[in-house]
A and B are shown apart, each in its own frame.
Chain A
Amino acid sequence: MVRFGKFLKGFYVALMGIFLYAPILTLIVLSFNASKSRAKWSGFTFKWYAALFENEAILQSLWNTIIIALVSSLVATLIGTMASIAMNRMKKLPRQVMMGITNIPMLNADIVTGISLMLLFIMTDFAPGFTSVLLAHITFNIPYVILSVLPKLKQTDRNVFEAAQDLGATPISAFMKVVLPDIFPGILSGFLLAFTMSLDDFVITHFTKGAGVDTISTKVYTELRKGIKPEMYALSTLMFAAVLILLVLINRRRATHEQTVNH
Chain B
Amino acid sequence: MNKKQRRALSQLMLSGPYTVWMAGFIVIPLFLIVYYGMTTKAGAFTWENITAITSSVNLKALWLSVELSFICTVICLVLSYPLAMILANSKMKNSSLTAFLFILPMWMNALLRTLAWLTLLENNGVINTVLKAIGLPAIHIINTPTAIVFGMVYNYIPFMILPIYNVLVKLDRNVINAARDLGANAVQTFLRVILPLSVPGIISGITMVFVPSLTTFAISDILGGSKILLLGNIIEQKFKTANNWHAGSGLSLVLMVFIIITMVVSSHYEKDGESASVW
B273 interface hit (Cβ, 8 Å)? yes
Query: For B83, what are the chain A residues with a Cβ–Cβ distance below 8 Å?
Result: 12-13, 16
Cβ B17 vs Cβ A139 within 8 A: no
A261 contacts the other chain (CB 8 A) = no
Q: Which residue of B lies closest to A228 (CB)?
A: B115
The bracket for how many chain B residues form the interface is: 35 or more
- A interface residues, tally (CB under 8 Å): 81
Interface of chain B, helix or strand or loop or mixed?
Answer: helix
A244 / chain B contacts, CB cutoff of 8 Å: 104
Q: Pick from A49-57, A106-114, A176-184 the stretch touching chain B.
A: A106-114
Within 8 A of B (CB), among A102-148: 102-113, 115-120, 122-123, 135-136, 138-139, 142, 147-148
Mask for B114-140, Cβ within 8 A of A = 1, else 0?
111111101011100000000000000
**B252 close to A115 (CB less than 8 A):** yes
A26 at the interface (CB under 8 A from B): yes
- Grouping DSSP codes into helix (H, G, I), strand (E, B) and loop, the A interface class, with mixed when no group exceeds half, is helix
Besides A23-B116, A106-B273, 5 other A-B contacts (C-beta < 8 A):
A21-B105, A27-B116, A86-B14, A90-B11, A244-B104
Chain B residues close to A by CB (< 8 Å): 10-11, 13-15, 17-19, 21-22, 24-30, 32-33, 36, 79, 82-83, 86-87, 97, 100-120, 122, 124-126, 154, 157-158, 207, 211-212, 214-215, 217-218, 221-222, 232, 235-236, 239-240, 245, 248-249, 252, 255-256, 259, 263, 266, 272-274, 276-277, 279
Please list 25 pairs of residues, one from A and one from B, whose beta carbons are closer than 8 Å in the complex, sorted by A's number.
Answer: A12-B86, A20-B154, A20-B157, A23-B116, A24-B116, A26-B120, A30-B116, A82-B13, A85-B14, A107-B276, A108-B211, A111-B217, A112-B30, A119-B29, A119-B36, A119-B245, A123-B32, A138-B25, A139-B21, A147-B273, A193-B279, A207-B239, A220-B111, A240-B108, A243-B104
